[in-house]
């Protein structure tokens, strides 16, 4: 897999993981709605960063991750979650 394919796959994973908590496919357990969405969103961020790390390791030497990377990726993940938030709460 070359770098372009890894980048596109990473962005598609980010978009999927950011919006997945806001889709109500099956209601397994009813907690508060905000709690469910925040927990799912945080879990999606952790899974996405793990997949990104795996793609980075496969592509070559991984870069050092300072606090700036975590802040930027968290902000990107929040922006990518916007369609799911609109779908869930504003439709």
For every one of its 91 residues, what pLDDT tens digit does the chain have, with 9 covering 90 and above? 788 888 899 999 999 999 988 887 655 556 577 788 888 899 999 999 999 999 889 888 888 889 999 999 999 999 999 998 898 888 7
24, 40 Cβ separation under 8 angstroms: no
Q: From the centroid of its chain, how far is CA 80?
A: 8
Q: What's this model's pTM, rounded to 2 decimal places?
A: 0.83
Q: Give percent helix, percent strand, percent coil of the chain, each to the nearest 5.
A: 75, 0, 25
């Amino acid at each position: 897999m070359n770098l372009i394919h890894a980048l596109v796959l990473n962005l598609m994973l980010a978009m999927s993981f950011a919006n997945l908590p806001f889709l109500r496919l099956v209601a397994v357990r009813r907690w508060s709605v905000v709690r469910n969405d925040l927990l799912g969103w945080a879990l999606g961020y952790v899974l996405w960063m793990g997949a990104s790390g795996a793609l980075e390791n496969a592509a070559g030497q991984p870069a050092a991750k300072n606090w700036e990377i975590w802040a930027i990726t968290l902000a990107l993940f929040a922006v990518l979650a916007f369609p799911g938030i609109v779908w869930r709460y504003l439709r």
